[in-house]
Structure 1
Amino acid sequence: MASAERIYRVIFHNQGKIYEVYARSISDGGILGFVEIEELTFGERTQVVVDPAEEKLKSEFAGVKRTYIPMHSVVRIDEVEKEGQARISDTDGNVTPFPMPVYGPGKGSD
């Protein structure tokens, strides 16, 4: 018997909003400082009611094979038993972005 596919819930900041998406594959992606998210899933089960937030996410990620999210934007990644509803919500002031590094090109090379 085949093992069940893994489903991940990824919550991250993007342009002042909190995004919650579901995907079948998560990795470090080989790009320093980014999380690679593949096979995003959106409302694949039959629904009578259409959620506008999920439809907005679906259109935003239409045609995207994989996406790279900056690590400092990720709030949480969970492996879940079943897919939930993807959504975008406003931040309520309780989420603080991870501090950016203080080093970079040209710093301290005077």
Structure 2
Amino acid sequence: MPKSLSNSYSNNTQPPFMLLIPQEEWQSLHEKLDRLTDMVEKTQRDSSNCDWLESEEARRLLGISPKTWQNYRDQRLIPFSQIGRKIYVNQADIDNFLLRHRIGEHR
């Protein structure tokens, strides 16, 4: 290695590693990464648009009355957000609540 390159690396680091791969392999890998990036971005867009439910929808999903819903909020059984008088609940929090209260099969 030329002296100028060897001086730029400390004892603990290695010089950059270069790898030659055929162009078609590189293109295939690049296309797969592009598709993966698109899938992640779409998932993030989809989840950000439908994660939050209003109180009425949350109550309907849980099959509970407005009074029971109020008790759940008072007891902080399900996290929620409030803007003015509007209550919003994250779908994932409802799913977690249902999983925590799931009754397994009897054997």
TM-score (norm 2): 0.22
Larger Rg: 2
* Higher strand proportion (structure 1 or 2): 1
Higher relative contact order (CA 8 A, sep 6+): 1
Question: What TM-score comes out, normalization by structure 1 length?
Answer: 0.22
